[in-house]
Amino acid sequence: MKNNRKTAIVTGAARGIGRGISMELAEAGWTICAVGTRSAEDENVRAYLAELTAASPDSFYISGDISDADDRARIVNEAFAGLVEVDALVNNAGVAPTVRNDILEMTEESFDRVLDINLRGTFFLTQAVASRMIAQNPADFRRTIAFITSISAVVSSVNRGEYCISKAGLSMTARLFADRLADSGINVYEVRPGIIATDMTAGVMEKYNRLIENGLCPIKRIGQPRDVGRTVRALCDGFLAYSTGEIINVDGGMMIQSL
């Protein structure tokens, strides 16, 4: 039987933005099903899980690959078995190209890998979870699905085009699910991080620091995973309950156009 805490599935949860999101929710009283590709025996995952369960003792971790149909089905079944009901899904899992190539040199293998995880896997995971959420007992609050995309959904980077394409597709995915699920009491949002300090950006952080110092963002600092986490927490806690299908930028004002 479900306890009186709200419950969430967070993909890509053990590091970076996913860690910031899952810890914010856990510290706010949510029970988390954290999903990641690394084994639960991985040293870094064990350290993360210790921190997560210290904040939220009933939280747990599932290892799996959302791009694989069998793994996806298992993840959904184990998540609902552990949580009983799911109040929020946070689609954070995603990868960058292994090698940054100009789009004229992009390989089909790289394109397929990035879109299989970032777009196809996320779409069908959401489809499965949303169907199960609709079948749950009615709630006295609106449940939440959040897609973590990127400013790359609208900002061109020709040396990682597959990533940009995947995030642009995910942006429309969020809008489609928002339209479809509103009558079922589920609000759907797209959260677009800007430059956030994670493993994915570590290799180009010197470039980003220089750009920010030269005025790329009105708020002159690199974003942190907890910046995204606090935004997602506000959405899941219902502070935008009369909004759905919205895009929330967490980018230090980077998308402001000014003269």
Angle formed by the axes of helices 69-83 and 122-134, to 10°? Answer: 40
Q: Return phi, psi of residue 94, to 5°.
A: -175, 155
Which pLDDT score is estimated for 257?
Answer: 87
Percent of the chain surpassing pLDDT 70: 98
CB of 162 closer than 8 Å to CB of 97: yes
pLDDT averaged over every residue in the chain: 95
Q: pLDDT tens for residues 74-107?
A: 999 999 999 999 999 999 999 999 999 999 999 9
Beta carbons within 10 angstroms of residue 190's beta carbon:
25
Active site residue 189: no
Instruction: Please pick, among 48, 61, 163, 189, the residue that the annotation labels catalytic.
Output: 163
Q: pLDDT tens for residues 173-208?
A: 999 999 999 999 999 999 999 999 987 777 777 888
Query: For the chain, first and last CA: distance in Å?
Result: 57
Q: Whole-model pTM?
A: 0.94
Which pLDDT score is estimated for 206?
Answer: 82
User: 109-136 burial string, b = 16+ CB within 10 Å, else e?
Assistant: ebbebbbbbbbbbbbbbbebbbebbeeb
Q: pLDDT tens for residues 33-68?
A: 999 999 999 999 999 999 999 999 999 999 999 999
Residue 1 has pLDDT above 90, yes or no: no
Nearest to 129 by CA among 58, 177, 166, 63: 177
Residue 3: band (very low, low, confident or very high) from pLDDT cuts 50, 70, 90:
low
Topology annotation, domain 7-245: Rossmann fold (3.40.50)
CB of 232 closer than 8 Å to CB of 24: yes
